Structure 1
Amino acid sequence: MTGEKNLTSLIQKMTPELQLGEYVFTTVKTTDQIERKDIICEFREQEGITLILRREKADNLNLKYEFIASWITLKIHSSLDAIGLTAIFSSELAKHEISCNVIAGYYHDHIFVNTKDGEKTIEVLKNLSQHYIG
């Protein structure tokens, strides 16, 4: 199944969905003590392995973190080579002083924002979607 590439269609149909719970970004040297099912996202960098986990899982594992996030999924299958989607919604969030960390999955884009901004982010994205004309 091919993802959507048309920017207007992507913005108008993105349907942001707030996932339940709190999430954190942490870094480890090895994932040997962490079950794969508990890892939301993993990215290997030269300095260490960045993980996104549920906050309670990180707490149970005594992992350090600084950023507690809400997780928002854009419920449209966006193409990995679509142009402009991240730029449009991240610019709109910046206008509302909302910092975002974006991860593109195969099917959807995922946005992590400070927990205090979760509901506000949904409102901003829905408003963008409803009023975007390209």
Structure 2
Amino acid sequence: MSGITNLDVLLATMEPALVEGGFVYASVPAGELAAHLSRGPIGLFREEEGITLILPADAADGLAASSPMRMITLTVHSSLEAVGLTAAFATALTVDGISANVVAGYHHDHIFVPERDAERALETLRALSRAAREKGEA
């Protein structure tokens, strides 16, 4: 398995980056997935009730969708077997009252937060990373 597993290193080097644009979560029946792929989803997940799509907000016309969200990518190459990274940033965001929905990709973790909280979430994550770097320097 590729990627970093050491939690201290992950936190110190995660460099959160706010991705341009807004995104929404929407659900479509499994049999209709092909018809919606042209909307450019950046993620999908099969559930019993249908296919959840994560797509640009402006591509969701006509679909029942979540409120607009922003995506923050942790630019460190985290291992899918790393222990504690999700708990650490979820705890930091919780303390600041920020909802977070996490998607783990092969290379990075992507955190979807309500659009209104995006800048605050970015600063919370940067502070978490700074604290980890300072701890490592002590």
The two structures have a TM-score, normalised by structure 1, of: 0.94
Look up the SS of the partner of 2:33 in the other structure: coil
Matched, 1:74 2:102: no
Q: Name the structure where helix makes up a greater proportion of residues.
A: 2
State the 1:102 CA deviation. 0.3
Which residue pairs with 2:35 in the alignment?
Answer: 33
Determine the C-alpha separation between the residues in 2 that align with 1:58 and 1:126: 31
The C-alpha deviation readout for 1:84-130, integer Å capped at 9, x for no partner, is 00000000000000000000000000000000011111100001100
Q: Which amino acid aligns with 1:15?
A: E
Q: Which runs of 4+ in 1 moved over 4 A?
A: none
For structure 2, the residue ranges without an aligned partner over 5 or more in a row are none
Farther off after superposition, 71-80 or 32-41: 32-41
CA RMSD across the alignment: 1.4
Determine the C-alpha separation between the residues in 2 that align with 1:26 and 1:92: 27
The two structures have a TM-score, normalised by structure 2, of: 0.91
For structure 1, the residue ranges without an aligned partner over 5 or more in a row are none
Identity %: 45
Paired residues in the alignment total 132
Structure 2 counterpart of 1:48, from 29, 50, 64: 50
Determine the C-alpha separation between the residues in 2 that align with 1:66 and 1:58: 10
